[in-house]
Amino acid sequence: MASFLGHSAALIAALAVLPQLVGEFWAYTLALYFLYAIASLGIGLCWGQAGFLPLGQAMFFGLAAYLSGLSLIHFKDSWLLLLLLPGAALAPGLLAYGIGLLVFRGRTLSGPFFAMITLALTLLAFQIANSWNDVTGGFNGLKNIPGLPGLSDFTDLYYISAVALAVCLLAIAWLRRAPAGVLWRAVAQNEQRVRFCGFAVQNVKAAVFGLSGVLAGIGGALYAPQQNLVTPQLCGFLLSADLVIWAAVGGRATLYGPVVGAVLIGILTADLRDEISYWEVILAAIFIVVVLYFRQGLMGFVEPLFERLSRRRAGRTLDSPARPQATGDTGFALDDVRVRMGSVSILEGLDLAIDRPGIYCLIGPNGAGKTSCFNAMTGELPVRSGHIRIFGNTRTGAGADLLSRIGVGRKFQAPSLFPDLTVAENFNIGLWGGRARLRDLLRMDSHGWTSAILREAQARFPFLADEDRRAGDLSHGQRQILELVMVLIAEPRLILLDEPSAGLSQTETQEVIDAIRWVSGRHNACTVIVEHDMTFVRELADRIFVLHQGRLLASGTVAEVQADERVRAVYVGASA
């Protein structure tokens, strides 16, 4: 908190003395680019934090400018301005949030498709602004827009823009450090794992996009009274492209990068565009070089150093809230489940039911449908026919985030983590999922959540106590264990583990066996494991299910399965 307050005081002091250093004209120019910088901060949130690129930020900037301009023209002497101007800033955020909910509902629309959709919307907004003469003024735009009441000279306009920029920067600085910021970065790295931790990714991304729309709205709402003119170009692709370039060159993943890019590159563009014939070409070349070779931008070389020097991670002192658990039966049932991908049959009328706590293993040759069984249960594969019941309720096709919230945890074959986050942040995503409310994602003390399972895991695996270590720097075996612990600390009632011992040493394997047995017994959980290591299976399994060609071939104890002639035939004489 002390470093944050010092950071805030330095920012406010710098913005306060700047007009005395640069003069009235440059103060006015800076005020304009401060508004562009606020909109560019929204690009930094979406692209640099949450991992998706919006190409339509100008649409929200222009919408707010038109709403603000119309409000000032028609209600310049009315108290309604106290409501209309904030409404002009917030309306683009609500629009962006709604667009995000629609677009992010499908997983395939989260990458380049999203960027193209926002680009198309910007082009549409430009056409509407250019042709709706009765409202927007058409090509000539809205003219003679009154200024903000009570403000007259350029210095006043500068301070309004500077205050708005400072408030936005400090709010984003807080959010980036808060659990919400960690969650955004987790989404950018591994959406699948975020879903399996219990978060609705589409809602998270829509919220980030909505916040970026509010930032653009703040800039646009102040632009109209400052410039006294709003034209369709504010909604167009050129300004959207400029905002993206400024964020990239300054450093899209840093706090100050979009601001530095907007102010520095923006002012250079204003000065050099008329003097250098091919300035746009030069600017495009700079953008390409930065995106290809200097992805962190200008501030990417400076800002992380100061963040590391000022970072002080608090210890884990708060037990996480109890996770809500669904009532109902234990276990699951698959009734005649069929899954096909094109012409390939994956599951062929699979019937499999487990109705009590314990540890169960799925075995079978490669291609038998073991992992596909998990995928069908957790909504990763579409079920063509049949029914899936979990905890006594039909859950056919249910999403991973919903299943996680009702008590289903899953570990994948290959470690599914957040490699650029620290070990502590990986733990936190697991602890927050299904427990954290919106206010918890905004509170710094949520970083200090812990649990009995986490403490036990860190005692069993000492490397997990080095919480400041980057998860991507762990060995393969350590990443396997970290993912397993992330699943277990969520305290699920149904635990699906896909080859949890893959890549582990004999000692690590035994530790994992002990940890699974401890958690399964402690929480009375139903644990289902896909495993090829028969030593692992013999040590843990209460009962074994053998799959072959998408069907259940046999089930029973280890001894019963080993003696089954059908199983022996499938394994061609290999020990089962």
Using alpha carbons, select from 356, 309, 298, 359 the residue that is nearest to residue 531.
359
Does residue 247 sit within a domain?
no
Does residue 282 sit within a domain?
no
- CA–CA distance, 407 with 402 (Å, rounded to integer): 9
- Give the pLDDT band of residue 562 (cuts 50, 70, 90): confident
Question: What is the model's pTM?
Answer: 0.90
Query: What is the DSSP annotation of 15-66?
Result: HHHHHHHH-HHHHHHHHHHHHHHHHHHHHIIIIIIIS---S-HHHHHHHHHH
Mean pLDDT rounded to a whole number for the chain: 87
Using alpha carbons, select from 442, 439, 432, 541 the residue that is nearest to residue 194.
432
- Provide the sign of the torsion angle of the four alpha carbons 521, 368, 479, 539, taken in this order: positive
Backbone angles phi, psi at 52, to 5 degrees: -130, 145
User: Given the DSSP bridges, would you call strands 526-530 and 358-363 parallel, antiparallel or unpaired?
Assistant: parallel
Element (H, E) at 354: strand 344-354
pLDDT for 573 beyond 60: no
* 297 token code pair: 């931008």
Burial label, 534 (beta-carbon count in 10 A; 0-12, 13-18, 19+): middle
Does residue 299 sit within a domain?
no
Count of residues in the chain: 576
Domain that residue 50 falls in: 2-237
Please give the pLDDT value at position 575: 44
Whole-number percent of the chain with pLDDT over 90: 48
Tell me, rounded to whole angstroms, the distance of Cα 37 from its chain centroid: 23
Please give the pLDDT value at position 318: 80
Q: How many domains does the chain have?
A: 2
- Give the pLDDT band of residue 108 (cuts 50, 70, 90): very low
323 vs 441, which has greater pLDDT?
441
pLDDT for 172 beyond 90: yes
- Give the pLDDT band of residue 21 (cuts 50, 70, 90): low
Does residue 182 sit within a domain?
yes
Does residue 310 sit within a domain?
no
Please give the pLDDT value at position 247: 92
pLDDT for 39 beyond 50: yes
Please give the pLDDT value at position 110: 61
* 164 token code pair: 């708005």
pLDDT for 563 beyond 90: no
Residue 149 amino acid letter? P
Does residue 307 sit within a domain?
no
Using alpha carbons, select from 219, 275, 210 the residue that is nearest to residue 246.
219
Q: To 10 degrees, what angle do helices 237-250 and 57-75 make? A: 120
Using alpha carbons, select from 522, 521, 502 the residue that is nearest to residue 512.
502
CA atoms within 13 A on the CB side of 554: 19
Using the 3D structure, point to which of 205, 237, 269 is the last residue of a domain. Answer: 237
Q: To 10 degrees, what angle do helices 112-131 and 237-250 make? A: 140
Residue 30 amino acid letter? L
Instruction: Specify whether 406 is located in the same domain as 540.
Output: yes
Using alpha carbons, select from 209, 13, 211 the residue that is nearest to residue 99.
209
Query: What is the DSSP annotation of 129-192?
Result: HHH-HHHH-GGG-B-S----TT--SHHHHHHHHHHHHHHHHHHHHHHHHSHHHHHHHHHHH-HH
Instruction: Specify whether 232 is located in the same domain as 365.
Output: no
Element (H, E) at 104: none
On whether the CB atoms of residues 530 and 374 are closer than 8 A, the answer is yes
Please give the pLDDT value at position 159: 86
Q: Residue 152: how many CB atoms within 10 A of its CB?
A: 9
pLDDT for 513 beyond 90: no
Using the 3D structure, point to which of 194, 220, 237 is the last residue of a domain. Answer: 237
Q: In what order do the strands lie in the sheet with 332-341?
A: 344-354, 332-341, 385-390, 393-394
Which range scores top for mean pLDDT: 273-282, 307-316, 390-399? 390-399
Residue with tokens 């000492």: 462
Using the 3D structure, point to which of 237, 266, 292 is the last residue of a domain. Answer: 237
- CA–CA distance, 190 with 415 (Å, rounded to integer): 11
- CA–CA distance, 482 with 476 (Å, rounded to integer): 10
Spatial neighbors of 439 by CB under 8 A, at least 6 apart, are: none
At 188-241, the pLDDT tens digits run 999 999 999 999 999 999 999 999 999 999 999 999 998 899 999 999 998 999
Does residue 209 sit within a domain?
yes
Burial label, 293 (beta-carbon count in 10 A; 0-12, 13-18, 19+): exposed
- CA–CA distance, 236 with 231 (Å, rounded to integer): 10
Residue with tokens 């403000």: 151
Please give the pLDDT value at position 441: 94
292 vs 437, which has greater pLDDT?
437
At 420-475, the pLDDT tens digits run 999 999 999 999 998 889 999 999 999 999 998 899 889 888 999 999 999 999 99
User: Any idea what the CATH number is for the domain that residue 471 is in?
Assistant: 3.40.50.300
DSSP at 230: B
Does residue 352 sit within a domain?
no
Beta partners for residue 335, in sequence order: 387
Please give the pLDDT value at position 306: 64
- Provide the sign of the torsion angle of the four alpha carbons 173, 179, 185, 188, taken in this order: negative
Instruction: Specify whether 367 is located in the same domain as 220.
Output: no
On whether the CB atoms of residues 60 and 236 are closer than 8 A, the answer is no
